[in-house]
Structure 1
């Protein structure tokens, strides 16, 4: 599990490093550019929830198809093709929404200047959306083959490219005029496009990977397979939308406290998001390893993979929590100029709250990844809805406004919601993976060889 997880985690960290790079450069320009990129980025990732869900569903199907061994190259090629088909009409709709970021933010009560700057950022950033989805598909394909290194190498190269572009376009390096938030959006879009182009070239040139002929007969439809991706992927997208949405809603709430609160929230969120990339990578490895075992009808192997992943995620996040609770002021100082003393103080406080919910955030991410390996996605979405929106947001709003805690109260609500989701996700995995469950995983030696997992991961159907 660790051999597969840590390159995936580093790949995720390299991707969040693109956003962190933008944050570091924009934070030196003042509160408004940083707050604009934060609000615009939140809307961008809300729009990306459905593409992420479809990509993760495709990865889960690829893992189970490889686990079944026979004709897996043909099956995996068809799944990749239908996963690519689905994003084409989505991009037009999502791009149209992002193009009008300013109107959306003004409708939520944001400052007009802040909304206009966020729209400038998103109009540049959205051109990297389609290639980034292609990168996600190829990364899931490589994870199912337990070959995460190409995606990691490509992502690390994109960090260097983004740093150079941010220096040139945001800060005005190399004698170029500084473009501020527009430059940051262009830099990230180019970096995302380069990741897809480089990884696609890698797959086409690798002798073993090129045998899959992923682009072969691209025009042929497989409606049953497409429907399965949608059935599995829509709840994943719903779960991600609920989680991304709660942080985005929090950013909008922070806007009611002023640009300083948004900037402090941005710093704390970027740091917490960076640490989250590790358990997210472990969860992706869990999807692959649990899916491989489920496809091979190996119940014991699936259980071992899931619990090993949850243990790894919890262990790392305990270390991350210790770091955030030990030196929050120093971390805040990396992002905000010394003259922004009040904003740095608030960011320090929020970073300490982020340290308290690290363990819960990591466990729920890995448990969700393990459940995706069983194609169990609907109930996790309902758990996310209850934890984030049914309990977390109301608690945060209650503490932030009537309770008088301000931004701190909003983040305490976030921590509460994450804790609830972590407990329920872990209980869900324990129930489905446990040997005593009536719909437990089949095992070649337990008399259920004639059955395979259905789309839901909970019911069985005859071969």
Structure 2
């Protein structure tokens, strides 16, 4: 068993490690935004954090709509691999190429529609903030940052569609290089636009939003050009979304809408708790923002493992290897658990060190609250990772509806009432909110993994007894 786990870990890691590093590099963008917001003051940190939460809510749902592109591409490649031997091998390869091209074109069309609609929703949410119980000073800072972030959603989702395509064909290497470069560009643009250097106006938090939108556009262009220079990727990549195939669009949306709803359910759960923290004052919201960003960083390990596990499950089932699909679950959870244990130790032993980038210039009260929340976060992140991996595993089975139904139960029927009762009923305030988050994530993780076991067993072909 240990030998098998080690072998499977290496196989999963070959795809997961570049994805995890890419995810960590991507979250460095929002971390940079959060840190630079915190350097402006506690109120600015709270306002910037709220804007990032809303942007991530809409972005996450848009990403969900195009996430199945990777699974479809991986399954098409595996089917071509199975039929490539023999006289009809050339036809199989051509059919796989045509199918991949249709999937990419449809994925970019979905990303375009989602980006435009999402930008409009962000603007409307910004206008509705005063009626959501938020401090007037925070609203005045959050709204212009949201308006600056909105245009960046479109190239962000284009980038995600092409990213899923490169993952599906198991060639994600350019992602990491591009995302690492975007961190430096984002930090530089943030500094220039926030402080108004080189003769530019001093924009404050609005500059943070404009810098992030610009970086999303540059990242998309860089990934597109990198793919066009790749001899294996270039023939499959087309931007002619006007010719998107209706049947392929319907297939992507059939899986994508439940994925988006699942992602939105999770992100919405965190967004509502951020609004709850905001109702407790700027110090509570600043502490919530800082710890939430730390958990979000660690969560990227699970996102990378979830995408890799999902694509590998699609591939293993297309190849007819059900035992391989079962082992992927165990391997992904073991890898995530090992990383989360190390991160949790750091949270518990060095809380002031990990909080310093966010709250070093903030109030003592915000730092005290955040230190308490880190204790909960050390345990919460195990369940956060497990539930995300569970969603990815089910996506590998093309079972996206179950994930959505389970998140409704875990987050909204269990987690949110628990957070509300603990925060306001027992007067635990921000600590109660985070204990409610932990409860909801734990319930969701257990239900998702149980569903995967049941759904995977149902896909195994039934054995028939031989007759004499």
Q: TM-score, normalised to structure 1's length?
A: 0.91
Among 306, 321, 327, the alignment partner of 2:344 is: 321
State the match for 1:452 in structure 2. Answer: none
Contact 2:104 2:236 in 1 (8 A): no
- Is the partner of 1:334 in helix, strand or coil? helix
Structure (1/2) with the larger helix percentage:
2
Structure 1 residues 432 and 170 mapped into 2: Cα distance closer, same or farther (>3 Å)? same
Counterparts of 1:21-420 in structure 2, within 5 Å, are: 21-69=32-80, 70=92, 71-173=95-197, 176-215=200-239, 218-338=241-361, 340-420=363-443
CA contact (8 A) 1:5 1:282 kept: yes
Partner deviation per Cα, 1:219-268 (whole Å, 9 max, x = no partner): 32322211111111111111111110111101101111111111100000
Match of 1:454 in 2: none
Query: Per the alignment, in what secondary structure is the counterpart of residue 359 of structure 2?
Result: coil
- How many residues align? The count is 440
Alignment-derived partner of residue 440 in structure 1: 459
Q: Aligned with 1:178: secondary structure?
A: coil
Separation of aligned partners in 2, 1:440 and 1:207: 36
SS in 2 for 1:227: helix
Write the distance in 1 (CA, Å) between the matches of 2:299 and 2:343: 9
Q: Deviation digits for residues 348-383 of structure 1, max 9, x if unmatched?
A: 111121111111111111121111111111111111
Distance in structure 1 (CA, Å) of the matches to 2:263 and 2:366:
29
Partners of 1:218 and 1:397 in 2: CA distance: 45
Q: 1:310, CA displacement in angstroms? A: 2.2
Cα distance in 2 for partners of 1:74, 1:311 equals 37
Distance 2:97 2:432 in 1: 51
* Residue deviations 1:285-325 (CA, integer Å, cap 9, x gap): 01111111122232222223333222212221222222212
Mapped contact 1:127–1:189 kept (Cα < 8 A): yes
The answer to whether the 8 Å contact 2:18/2:176 transfers is yes
The root-mean-square deviation of aligned C-alpha atoms, in Å, is 1.7
CA distance in 1, matches of 2:161, 2:244: 17
User: Once the 2 structures are TM-superposed, how far is the Cα of residue 61 of structure 1 from its aligned partner?
Assistant: 1.5
Q: TM-score, normalised to structure 2's length?
A: 0.90
Identify the range of structure 1 (3-12 vs 335-344) with the bigger mean alpha-carbon deviation: 335-344
In structure 2, how many angstroms separate the alpha carbons of the residues matched to 1:172 and 1:442? 64
Residue equivalent to 2:83: none
Residue by residue over 1:413-443, the C-alpha shift from the partner in whole angstroms, topping out at 9 and shown as x without a partner, is 001111111111111222223xxx3x22459
Distance apart, 1:174 and its partner CA: 5.0
Q: Give ranges in structure 1 of 5+ residues lacking alignment.
A: 448-463
| Alpha-carbon distance in structure 1 between the residues aligned to 2:402 and 2:44 | 39
Residue range with higher mean Cα deviation, 231-240 or 171-180: 171-180
Question: Per the alignment, in what secondary structure is the counterpart of residue 171 of structure 2?
Answer: coil
Unaligned runs of 5+ in 2: 1-11, 81-91
CA distance 1:135–1:213, shift in 2 (3 Å): closer
Separation (CA, whole Å) in 1 of partners of 2:379 and 2:332 = 21
